[in-house]
């Protein structure tokens, strides 16, 4: 395998991860909106005693989960690009900043979705 071919494969893989990450976010957002709209319109049951706040909470959780999946895929694309395609010190530093920001976003979304820090135990039911 030539270096040029490997670079093209890595570039294509990074593009597919980026497209998949974007698609996960968009599809999750559309699903969350459609689900909330159906519940609000009364065409779908949200659960016993579910009101406006439960609908909004379910919407935010669904949207948050899709964003988390999308962010993970986008980080994978950035890693492929940095390690395989452009391994310079500047690109590694940019990757470190991007990963730090996305990690902060992931932790923030995780707290929003689960209502606890990632290192806290799951409450027993």
pLDDT tens sequence across 8-63:
998 999 999 999 999 999 999 999 999 988 888 876 665 544 567 788 888 888 89
How far is it, in rounded angstroms, from Cα 29 to Cα 37? 12
pTM of the model: 0.76
Question: What confidence score (pLDDT) does residue 1 get?
Answer: 67
Structure tokens at 97: 């900043």
Taking the CA atoms of 88, 92, 93 and 94 in sequence, report the sign of the dihedral they define: positive
Tell me: the pLDDT tens digits for 53-91? Answer: 788 888 888 898 899 899 889 989 988 888 887 778 888
Number of helices followed by number of strands (H, E) in the chain:
3, 0
In this model, does residue 124 exceed pLDDT 90?
A: no
In this model, does residue 114 exceed pLDDT 90?
A: no
**Secondary structure letter of residue 115 according to DSSP:** S
């Amino acid at each position: 395998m030539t270096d040029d071919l490997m670079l093209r494969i890595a570039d294509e893989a990074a593009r597919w991860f980026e497209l998949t990450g974007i698609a996960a976010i968009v599809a999750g957002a559309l699903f969350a909106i459609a689900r909330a709209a159906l519940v609000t319109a009364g065409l779908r049951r949200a659960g016993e005693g579910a009101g406006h706040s439960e609908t909004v909470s379910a919407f935010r959780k669904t949207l948050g989960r899709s964003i988390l999946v999308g962010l993970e895929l986008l980080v994978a694309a950035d890693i492929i690009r940095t390690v395989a395609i452009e391994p310079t010190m500047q690109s590694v530093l940019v990757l470190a900043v991007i990963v730090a920001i996305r990690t902060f976003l992931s932790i923030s979304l995780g707290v929003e979705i689960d209502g606890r820090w990632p290192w806290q135990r799951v409450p027993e039911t």
